[in-house]
Amino acid sequence: MAATTTDPAIQCANSATTALPAGHYSHICTAAGLVFISGQLPIKPDGTALTGHSFEEQTQQVLSNVEGCLARAGLGKDSLVQVRVYVTDIKHWPRFNELYAAWIGSHRPARAVAGVAELHFELAVEVEAIALAGNESS
């Protein structure tokens, strides 16, 4: 992981399978044995935002982006310790939960789902996460 900070205890990098950040941040930063994954929106690797696409399509893209960030850190989904989910309509929570459960399998990290007024690009879902560094199970 290439360092992008002046503190060698913090290593930051971007995933090659996720669109480059549009703002001043990195996809992942590793510090103190943890990998912090920035909020992932439903944006394809080529930078196309899935505005107007179904909630299911947006959720699948977001989870794919999170998985790409985990892979950049050399980790799998079993390394996740906490996941935070933001949805613009809390009525989507049951469907998100179904898609998330199918994606993550039997692993059950801590999680929060919060309804928010809006997300960038008028998208419907965003996910950020924290994973344990060095846990190479998938």
Residue 62 belongs to a domain = yes
Half-sphere exposure of residue 20, counting CA atoms within 13 Å on the CB side?
A: 1
pLDDT in the model for residue 52:
97
Region 10-25: what's the mean pLDDT? Answer: 94
pLDDT at 3: 45
Mean pLDDT along residues 49-59: 98
The band of 138, judged by pLDDT with boundaries at 50, 70 and 90, is: very low
Determine phi and psi for 12, rounding to 5 degrees: -120, 150
Is 6 a member of any domain? no
**Dist CA 133 CA 86 (whole Å):** 24
Is the residue at 2 inside a domain? no
**Which CATH number do you get for residue 57?**
3.30.1330.40
pLDDT at residue 6 is higher than 80? no
User: Mean pLDDT score of the chain, rounded to an integer?
Assistant: 94
| Residue 5 or 12, more confident | 12
pTM for the full predicted model: 0.92
Range of the domain at 102: 11-132
Q: What is the pLDDT of residue 4?
A: 53
Q: Is residue 137 part of a domain?
A: no
Average pLDDT over residues 109-136: 94
Model pLDDT, residue 135: 61
- Is 116 inside any structural domain? yes
Is the pLDDT assigned to residue 36 strictly greater than 50?
Answer: yes
Q: How many alpha carbons fall within 13 Å on the CB side of residue 106?
A: 1
The total number of structural domains in the chain stands at: 1
